[in-house]
Amino acid sequence: MISSFLHQSLFHLEPETAHNLAIRSLKSGLYPRVRLPKADLRLETRVAGLRFPNPLGMAAGFDKNGEVVDALLDLGFGFTEVGTVTPLPQKGNPAPRIFRLKEDCAIINRLGFNNEGHEAVGKRLDRLRGRKGPVGVNLGANKTSDDFVSDYCKGLKVFNSVADYFTLNISSPNTPGLRGLQNKYQLAEMLTRVGETRHGFSKPIQKPVFLKIAPDNDDRALDDIVKIVLNEGAGVIDGLIISNTTIARPSSLRSRDKNEQGGLSGRPLFDPSTKVLAKVYLRLEGALPLIGVGGIENVQTALAKIRAGATLCQVYTGFVYQGPGLAGTILSGLSAYLDQHHLKSLSDLRGQDARQFAGQA
Ligand SMILES: Cc1cc2nc3c(=O)[nH]c(=O)nc-3n(C[C@H](O)[C@H](O)[C@H](O)COP(=O)(O)O)c2cc1C
């Protein structure tokens, strides 16, 4: 009850102020504890050599500077992704830059990679001990960088000893030119250079590397991305995260701020991001694992991502709307689903409905 009261109070504050307050209270341990279901071994998931105690993670952008890793894992998340982090600290775009679309259960943000930079975040992560689940580091490029790819390569080296996995975020809509890295020529060049950093450097980067893509890629762009990931990206990319926020504005949006510039997340992103997830799953034919993100807000939407082809899932906006008990609620729901259907693990469901979600059934 106390936790629900605190959560409701945050909604009366300006969105970025509420976010900063949530980070502060999680950091100081002042957030009321939530009741978690007993760990269920059937939910344990292995991806790219890592063990995830459950398949639900906190997506990038919530904990940009790695301040609340332990607190998020204590809320039941099986893993968390810090960042996006850029080599140099960066203030991001002018405020206001986060908008709550309440009637749509959505958010538009144009933060623009505000973060404390590699050095500060690296030091903070170095101090973490005894993590309950994998901690990923999501890498980006500084707005003023004249070589985006070298910014990602620097990140791989700086965080090599503290990250459990990496995400190359080439899909944020809020850094001009960044999403261009998804185009075939740029992506092929980027993955070649990342491969040189992973394997050619004196200390190889052995941590898995995931590539995070936008939901705004059409079929031809998805064909190119999959082809390049399997060719230039062989031995370089260990999985894909699908998806980041969208620059599209579905006609269903009702909230006042629906035309604000930036990336849209939450409920209206569920359909487009799940469609792209399913399309990539079908194209990959099992070659790489996928992490499904976009519009998860309950056990049904988490199960849908798995049915569309995800091995792991992440959530951000659903957590803002549903509050700190969300991970626990989804985990209990997943266990109950396994009980009801006499399943030993979620892997039996993976990709089962990919054709329907891809619009091919
Ligand atoms: C306020 C905000 C900030 C975000 N910042 C980042 C970021 O820094 N890096 C990134 O890869 N994704 C970022 N995202 C995108 C999320 O990680 C996620 O891909 C997207 O919001 C879809 O999931 P959701 O519908 O559960 O929110 C951000 C999302 C929000 C709402």
Share of the chain above pLDDT 90, in %: 84
pLDDT tens per residue across span 108-155: 999 999 999 999 999 999 998 778 899 999 999 999 999 999 999 999
Taking CA atoms, 110 is separated from 107, 135, 174, 227, in Å, by 10, 24, 5, 30
Ligand 1 atom 1: residue of nearest CA: 109
Q: Which atom of ligand 1 is nearest to the CA of 140?
A: 9
The CA–CA distances, whole Å, from 263 to 106, 154, 171, 245, 338 equal 10, 26, 10, 5, 34
- On the question of a cis peptide bond just before residue 243, with omega within 30 degrees of 0, the verdict is yes
Q: Can you list the alpha helix ranges (DSSP code H) found in the chain?
A: 2-10, 15-27, 69-74, 117-126, 148-158, 184-200, 219-230, 270-284, 299-308, 317-322, 326-340, 354-357
Specify the ligand 1 atom closest to the Cα of 169: 11
Residue 2 has pLDDT above 60, yes or no: no
Kindly report whether the peptide bond that precedes residue 329 is cis, defined as omega within 30 degrees of 0.
no
CA of 203 to the centre of ligand 1 (A): 31
**Who has greater pLDDT, 74 or 8?**
74
Please say if the pLDDT value at position 82 is more than 90: yes
pTM value is 0.96
CA of 52 to the centre of ligand 1 (A): 21
Please say if the pLDDT value at position 333 is more than 60: yes
Q: What is the pLDDT of residues 163-174, one digit of tens each?
A: 999 999 999 999
Higher pLDDT, 324 or 254: 254
